[in-house]
Amino acid sequence: YANNASPDEPFGAQNTKSISATLYATPSDNFSSRLFATYFKYDDGLSQAVTLPGASPVGGGGFGGYIPTGYTSTCNPGGPSGRLANGALTGNFYPCGAFGTIPSGLIASSAVLTKNELYVLSTPPNYPQLIGKGYCNHFGVCSDNIGTHLITDYDLDDGIKISNITAYHRKDVADLVPADNQNSQQYPNPLYGNPAFPLAPSFELFDYNIQTRTEDYSTELRATSPQDQPFRWTFGSNYVHAAETTELYFYTPTGSLPTFGANQRFGVVYADSEGVFGEVSYEPIEGLTFTAGLRWQEDTLTSLGSSTLSPVFNHSYYSRSPRGSVEYKVDPDLTVYGSWALGVRPGGFNTALISLPQPLINQIVAQTGSAAVAYKQEKLYTYEIGAKGAFFDNTIRANVSAYRGKLADQQTDSTALTTYDIEKYGGRFDIISNQGEVNIWGIEGDAHWKALPILDLSATAGWNHTQVVGSTCYACYLVTGNYHADDGKAMPGAPQYTFSVAADFRDHLLGTWDWFAHGDLAYKGKQFIDQENLSWIPAFIDVDFQAGVENESWSVGAFVKNATDYKGLIGAQISSDENSGSNNAIRGGLSDPREYGLRAKYKFGPFSEETEAAPAAYVPPPVQPAKPATTARSYMVFFDFNKSDLTSQAVSIVDQAAANAGPAKVTQLVVTGHTDTVGSDAYNMRLSRRRAESVAAELEKKGIPSSEIEIVAKGKKDLLVPTADGVREPQNRRVQIVYEGGATS
């Protein structure tokens, strides 16, 4: 997007570099581990955010008292902000109606660095900065990130699995943004030319440089019982520690050296979370499963003072999150279920409010109705019923569910623009408080149809209805004069209707190459952006395409995202406009413009311990015809050398086995993997298991429950064609599917 205020600083520039690695280790058949590490950094320009100016409330005014006419001020709902002292209505002060596509002239942000801003960004070891001198010397976001996690699994002899996940992350972010997200050059700075402020620029500038360092480490230990028993369980515990340190510099129209926000110079917050959890399932009769689970958690938040780094606020939040469900498999192709759960978002505190002077507190209360340091936990109660199944020989798979929920003690964000000692405390405060309840109910579903051998169609649809009840909304009072103006209204940002459709084509091209094409369309319905439902974003559609060719090693293609080039708001909220002192502006994010390009991937072969024997001419295994459902009890699929992924022929055989399992009333399938004799015994044992797992995964995709599939690895044992050691034999590289149980043929 072009920046109509500062052409040299366009919107949406992105530059990302990353590297990652994964190390797998399987020192024994019952022990495995995976170590993952990544580093990435991005150096982005200004985000494509805009602020559509609002009219200043009567008696307000921005820095210096300048009051412009707001672009979005289209109505007067009759609240105190739109009345004179005698109660008479003034002009329009609030945005009403639809705000979708934005005039290009309003896509603007005055990204202008003053001399003192440049000084702070580039010069001083003696000017303290959290992340470091010269780390990010332009408007936008710079960030360095590292992350690593270790996952280990150990299988006991009795089938119990012990698992551990341990992780560490660190993130440094410097974010330099114009706080107004608009063309502030149209707002003259009343301090310009004042001898007391010789560095004041000619127009208003409100810039923020927010530097944040976040670190966290976590560990979770869990034990899981065998999943093929009527009684199954999982128990575990976890611990997370996170620390966030923030420096906030803000630049004001005085043009002086940027200052630190009070209590935000070294704002340090610690979060410690520890919990235990468990879940048990019982299957009293075949196909009927009851599940119950409970999680207990303690979240402790601590804020350290900016100068002493001693605790100035500390609080622990305790929560119990139960869950229960019942599932019944009507037949192998159809399952119905119901569930109930309680989820809890921990409470928190408004760090910026700690130790503020009373005159400033009074200004915040006048605009938000609250200046409480702490806010309560938010709770979500949910109920759901649904069904999922496969129909018409697995050519159609579908899932539909209906849900009901209640959100209690909703955490709501409000903004206050203040004028008390801006140089020391800044002029904007975002306050979170608990406001009322929200009822939620809806229906959603998805379906997949194998329409043709080369064509897959899929679709999703959702109807989501939300309704606020019992709220005490101070922002509503300022706009309408009614503390309960949002009662019965929809939650902001929650569209009532959504749907998507997609088509995938894939077929053989020539030689080892296949061609593919994909297209999808996503619809997002009307979404309100304020609590009173007076303002909204209209519905919009996103369309994407991609096409290309691929074989086992290469994938090359082209893509187009946002093919219709929709350029409008995709999310927004009523927020502040620093220049006018208004809390009735619209702040939102624009969609990504049309994007197109080329993409290529190369897949290297898997690591192999196998010693290379003299290559033999490949003899394809005989085609295994699908047997009639009345006699089929065994199927065979074959694999390429040192491969565990399914060929297209293997997929068709596995799918036929899955389709015939239902009529045969199968209760157990044994999937046995084999290899040829090239390589070590240990490597081939693992390779044969991977092959069996590939077949089992395809069976599950076709509706066979994992509880009915037994996986066996044979390695080099039980050769179909006897050979000497080190011989490549295509017919020994196989997986056999055998039915157990069910009617006798």
- Predicted confidence at residue 423, as pLDDT, reads 65
* Higher pLDDT, residue 454 or 268: 454
Residue type, 625: P
Average pLDDT value for the chain = 84
Locus of tokens 């006048």: 366
Lowest pLDDT segment from 128-137, 440-449, 517-526, 709-718: 128-137
- Report the side by side order of strands in the sheet with 709-713: 634-638, 734-740, 668-673, 709-713
- Predicted confidence at residue 726, as pLDDT, reads 83
pLDDT in tens, 368-385: 887 788 888 999 999 999
* Higher pLDDT, residue 642 or 310: 642
Give CA–CA dist 574/462, Å, rounded.
26
* Higher pLDDT, residue 687 or 310: 687
- Predicted confidence at residue 559, as pLDDT, reads 97
Pick the closest to residue 733 from 619, 636, 640 (CA basis): 640
Lowest pLDDT segment from 180-184, 278-282, 552-556: 180-184
- Predicted confidence at residue 445, as pLDDT, reads 93
Taking 60 as the threshold, does the pLDDT of residue 634 lie above it? yes
- Residue range 109-124: average pLDDT? 78
Give CA–CA dist 179/425, Å, rounded.
15
- Residue range 33-53: average pLDDT? 91
Taking 60 as the threshold, does the pLDDT of residue 607 lie above it? no
- Please give the backbone phi and psi of residue 80, each rounded to the nearest 5 degrees, phi first: -55, -30
Residue type, 363: Q
* Confidence band, pLDDT 50/70/90 cuts, at residue 100: confident
Contact 471, 477 (CB under 8 A): no
- Predicted confidence at residue 179, as pLDDT, reads 82
CA Rg, the chain, in Å?
31
Taking 60 as the threshold, does the pLDDT of residue 610 lie above it? no
Give CA–CA dist 252/256, Å, rounded.
7
Give CA–CA dist 417/420, Å, rounded.
10
- Predicted confidence at residue 733, as pLDDT, reads 93
Pick the closest to residue 447 from 497, 403, 500 (CA basis): 500
Contact 462, 493 (CB under 8 A): no
CA atoms within 13 A on the CB side of 661: 30
Contact 693, 678 (CB under 8 A): no
pLDDT in tens, 516-535: 999 999 999 999 999 999 99
- Please give the backbone phi and psi of residue 529, each rounded to the nearest 5 degrees, phi first: -120, 5
Lowest pLDDT segment from 21-25, 361-365, 512-516: 361-365
Lowest pLDDT segment from 70-74, 175-179, 429-433: 70-74
- Residue range 347-368: average pLDDT? 82
For the stretch 197-201, contacts whose Cβ atoms lie closer than 8 Å and that sit 24 or more positions apart, written own/partner, are 197/254, 197/255, 197/256, 198/255, 199/114, 199/115, 199/116, 199/254, 199/255, 199/256, 200/253, 200/254, 200/255, 201/112, 201/114, 201/253, 201/255
Contact 489, 532 (CB under 8 A): yes
* Confidence band, pLDDT 50/70/90 cuts, at residue 123: low
Pick the closest to residue 579 from 260, 133, 224, 186 (CA basis): 186
- Predicted confidence at residue 362, as pLDDT, reads 87
pLDDT in tens, 618-628: 444 443 333 33
- Residue range 291-298: average pLDDT? 96
User: In 159-205, which ranges are continuous DSSP H helix?
Assistant: none
* Other CB atoms within 10 Å distance of the CB of residue 236: 19
Residue type, 586: I
* Other CB atoms within 10 Å distance of the CB of residue 396: 15
Non-local (6+) Cβ contacts of 598 within 8 A are 556, 557, 558, 559
- Residue range 135-159: average pLDDT? 89
Beta strands in 14-160 (DSSP E): 16-28, 31-44, 49-52, 97-98, 140-155
- Residue range 21-25: average pLDDT? 92
Query: How are beta strands 634-638 and 140-155 bridged, if at all?
Result: unpaired
Lowest pLDDT segment from 112-116, 314-318, 637-641: 112-116
Which string of b and e fits 707-736 if b means at least 16 CB within 10 Å?
A: bbbebebbbbeebbeebeeeebbbbbbbbb
pLDDT in tens, 50-64: 988 877 654 433 333
- Predicted confidence at residue 103, as pLDDT, reads 85
- Predicted confidence at residue 462, as pLDDT, reads 95
DSSP string, 487-519: TTPPPTT--SEEEEEEEEEEEEEETTEEEEEEE
Contact 248, 206 (CB under 8 A): no
* Higher pLDDT, residue 314 or 123: 314
Taking 70 as the threshold, does the pLDDT of residue 126 lie above it? no
* Higher pLDDT, residue 119 or 559: 559
* Confidence band, pLDDT 50/70/90 cuts, at residue 633: low
- Residue range 342-362: average pLDDT? 84
pLDDT in tens, 390-433: 898 888 999 999 999 999 998 888 878 787 876 677 677 888 88
* Higher pLDDT, residue 214 or 658: 214
Taking 90 as the threshold, does the pLDDT of residue 168 lie above it? yes
- Residue range 680-685: average pLDDT? 82
- Residue range 494-505: average pLDDT? 94
- Predicted confidence at residue 667, as pLDDT, reads 66
CA atoms within 13 A on the CB side of 196: 4
- Predicted confidence at residue 617, as pLDDT, reads 42
Beta bridge partners of 10: none
- Predicted confidence at residue 335, as pLDDT, reads 94
- Residue range 736-745: average pLDDT? 59
